[in-house]
Structure 1
Amino acid sequence: MPETLAPDLPADLDALSPLQERSMAHANARINLWTGSIRSGKTIASLLRWLAYVTKAPRGGALVVTGKTYDTVARNVFGPLADPAITGKLSQLVKYTRGASTATILGRQIEVITANDVKAEGRLRGLTCAGAYADEVSLLPEVYWDQLLGRMSVPGAKVFGTSNPDNPAHWLRQRFILRERELNLRHWHFTLDDNPSLPAEYVEAIKNEFVGLWYRRFVLGEWVAAEGAIFDMWDERRHVVDTLPTITHWISVGVDHGATNPFHAVSIGLGADGILYATSEWRYDARAKHRGMSDVEYSAELRDWMTRQRLNPEYVIVDPSAKPFRTQLDRDGIAVMKANNEVVDGIRTLGSLLHLGALKIHRSCEWLITELPGYSWDDEKALRGEDAPIKVADHGVDALRYALHTTRSVWRPMLRSDLSLAA
């Protein structure tokens, strides 16, 4: 057991991996970073080290827990800290209410500060810090991270942070991880196989689900660039069907709204075979038609198409930028939902479904079938450390992404068991 751990942590921590133990025992630098694959044990190791630090943290400054949002902080930080299976009796000394700006850990008040955009940097000004725990550092704005480090002015103050891998040009890798020997920094790299507590079937499911870029990042823990075709697993012979099975559950209709750009809608249903199907599409290109339509007209046309296709979706999902159109649909009696537009996460969901064979496209979806194989990463943005698709010929793919990623919690339990995406 590392000397840095408090003596009343649960005894089953003897099952920690050697890498977890080493990282906790030697995380004594000003900046301590745990990076690597999902579920690799890096978060547990970092949190236990943070607990030990709180017990001895210098006085005269604030202790901070930070992350992208209050929800992610509650889930990724305070959830595990308050779990007796992880922190034993110390879990009773972790007090936090989701959404609150302060918490209590081992009797010390903790400032909870979120950083969803660059403006969050101002929340740190005037703060004197004695220590900080940062969840998913790569998702924090660079200027915010710099400000946080600048606030660590109490002698002996330390930062502990976790991150999944990102683009190799990302500022966290370029400015900090690669300069470990130059800075007062310690870094530990984890892979999925570094967590001995994971069931073998779960590890296999994760390895089967992720493909390409995401396999290298989320299984191997590599910082690799997005390049080439996004859906390189696409195979028309495998993914396109001429006949649909009985649809047992109409999940959603995804809508990419366009005024001058094409308006595209895609319907998603669950087949009796436990597979998701893009069953039909409706598209209107104002430029090609030399005539735009109002939201009233788009609503009428969309509803007419749904009626003709006998669609009864649980949700109609519309892109976040189209608020007036969502309002119009609501007035017309359509249950509408704003799409989850986390682009990279949505792409990963589609990629996983295609890789597993859990998503098929009906041949009538001609535009969608044309767009999917050409959907590619933007090389110029990759050089700047950003994962983003080229914004060309993407309206059908965007509609599909909205329809599926936004409703993931609905259809995931319904998939055929051998195709289920890992949690």
Structure 2
Amino acid sequence: MALSDLYTEKQINIYKRTRQEDWFMLLNHGAVRAGKTQLDNDLFLNELIRVKELAAVEGVDEPMYILGGVSSGTIQSNILQELTNKYGIEFKFDKHNNFKLFGVKVIQTFTGTIAGLKSIRGMTAYGAYINEASLANKEVFDEIIKRCSGEGARIICDTNPDHPEHWLKKDYIDNPSKNILSFHFTLKDNTFLSERYKQNIIETTPSGVFTERGIFGLWTIGEGAIYSDFDEDIHVVDEDDVPWKDITKYYSGVDWGYEHWGAIVVVGETDDGTKYLIREHAAQHKDIDYWVERAKEVVAEFGNKIPFYCDSARPEHVDRFVDEGFYAYNANKAVLSGIEMVAKGYKQNKFYVVRQRIERFLDEVYQYVWNSKTGEPVKQHDDVQDAVRYAVYSNAKDSGGWLY
């Protein structure tokens, strides 16, 4: 079987360079579905075989290797399950969630928070594979580099792009050298994808920053309105136009406030994933007792098992909701991923706002804009928007950060 049967031209060129040159770090970055992770997964297996041979020369019977990802879930879905599906590899985990493969002990570390340092401090690694590197905590990323001190150690990284001032881009991607190989991917590089599939991705990806990053793989900031596909003529509907009988679940998002506005929103969703913002409570200079009363109104209207996905910045308020008997959870607050999910709703005409049931939403949505320096949303006019994001993204992800 020829390499061209397995890999795209872009992947083959990178694969050959990794075999012909010595290097310390490989950075594959760019568009989604472009073939980065598929290639890196195979290079990961190659590296384990190479590491075992190098360590044997040094008399090390069981060399260690770091496998990093934002969470256990992302490592499982992006790497391990893909390798199982492709090669039938069955991973047997020890009590620390580590495993052995090709005679190498693979240590999993979760790079999304500083807690990821615990599993790798003090170890000597013969290499590392870091998935979704731009989402890694920088201290954890730096520690992984320090740990890779075994003879001939190499680090493989893949990532989708972030804003242009991101440390991964400035410190590594923009500074390629003999020891750092960096390759940029666009969606068009994946020649195994059908043109129909590519066109579907393009047409369903939100406009602006998400298209620039997701399709063209650019490290860019957003400019102007965050929800550039929002169209009041399309996405704001009357109560009579809502298919109330088709809504099968309700969930709520909560953004605490005092000097800035606080908000509780309720989203209703049909079986086909169409969402409706059907209730909004927004107020300023209100204490927790006020929000408890608003939550009681939500429960009375939508049932006592409706989940409240709450801003974790005020744990005492989340505690109060729990004490009141509400199903309150810490929201999954991933900013860009959450915004992208809401933005896709507008792009695909699957997220609507009920005119008679909102108070502040329209005042915010047109003023909810990108910060041109950080690539994050400006922290103004974002309270209802944050509550909506907490509700939609946490429900979709079944929030992994729950306390209760």
Between the aligned partners of 2:269 and 2:343, the Cα distance in structure 1 is 18
Between the aligned partners of 1:196 and 1:99, the Cα distance in structure 2 is 41
2:245 pairs with 1:251: no
Shift of 1:304: 2.8
Question: What's the counterpart of residue 293 of structure 1?
Answer: 287
Shift of 1:321: 2.6
Question: What's the counterpart of residue 210 of structure 2?
Answer: 214
146 and 256 in structure 1: CA distance in 2 versus 1, 3 angstrom threshold: closer
Between the aligned partners of 2:2 and 2:24, the Cα distance in structure 1 is 19
| 8 A Cα contact 2:281 2:359, kept in partner | no
Query: 1:25-64 residue pairs with structure 2 within 5 A?
Result: 25-27=16-18, 28=21, 29-57=23-51, 58-59=54-55, 60=60, 61-64=63-66
Question: What's the counterpart of residue 279 of structure 1?
Answer: 278
2:135 pairs with 1:133: no
Between the aligned partners of 1:172 and 1:326, the Cα distance in structure 2 is 35
2:335 pairs with 1:343: yes
Instruction: Single out whichever of 342-351 and 204-213 deviates more from structure 2.
Output: 204-213
Query: 1:124-163 residue pairs with structure 2 within 5 A?
Result: 124-163=120-159
Question: What's the counterpart of residue 172 of structure 1?
Answer: 168
| 8 A Cα contact 1:71 1:98, kept in partner | no
**Counterpart selection for 2:189 from 176, 181, 194:** 194
Between the aligned partners of 2:144 and 2:233, the Cα distance in structure 1 is 52
Residue 223 of structure 1: SS of its match in structure 2? coil
| 8 A Cα contact 2:281 2:294, kept in partner | no
Normalising by structure 1, we get a TM-score of 0.81
Shift of 1:322: 3.6
Shift of 1:346: 0.9
2:362 pairs with 1:369: yes
The aligned amino acid for 1:143 is E
| 8 A Cα contact 1:129 1:154, kept in partner | yes
Unaligned runs of 5+ in 2: 399-404
| 8 A Cα contact 1:78 1:96, kept in partner | no
| 8 A Cα contact 1:245 1:273, kept in partner | no
| 8 A Cα contact 2:25 2:155, kept in partner | yes
Residue 93 of structure 2: SS of its match in structure 1? coil
Residue 407 of structure 1: SS of its match in structure 2? helix
| 8 A Cα contact 2:299 2:306, kept in partner | no
Over the matched positions of the two proteins, sequence identity in percent amounts to 24
Q: Could you list the per-position Cα deviations for residues 289-329 of structure 1 after superposition, in whole angstroms to 9, with x for gaps in the alignment?
A: xxx4343x43123323554xx33474232222343333333
Residue 345 of structure 2: SS of its match in structure 1? helix
Normalising by structure 2, we get a TM-score of 0.85
The aligned amino acid for 1:232 is S
| 8 A Cα contact 2:250 2:267, kept in partner | yes
2:385 pairs with 1:392: no
Question: What's the counterpart of residue 401 of structure 2?
Answer: none
Instruction: Single out whichever of 327-336 and 250-259 deviates more from structure 2.
Output: 327-336
The aligned amino acid for 1:70 is S
| 8 A Cα contact 1:275 1:359, kept in partner | yes
Between the aligned partners of 1:150 and 1:140, the Cα distance in structure 2 is 15
| 8 A Cα contact 2:111 2:141, kept in partner | no
Shift of 1:42: 1.0
Between the aligned partners of 2:380 and 2:396, the Cα distance in structure 1 is 25
Alignment root-mean-square deviation, CA: 2.7
Shift of 1:177: 1.6
Q: Could you list the per-position Cα deviations for residues 37-57 of structure 1 after superposition, in whole angstroms to 9, with x for gaps in the alignment?
A: 112111111111121121122
Question: What's the counterpart of residue 104 of structure 2?
Answer: 108
Unaligned runs of 5+ in 1: 4-12, 287-291, 411-423
How many residues get paired? 381
45 and 331 in structure 1: CA distance in 2 versus 1, 3 angstrom threshold: same
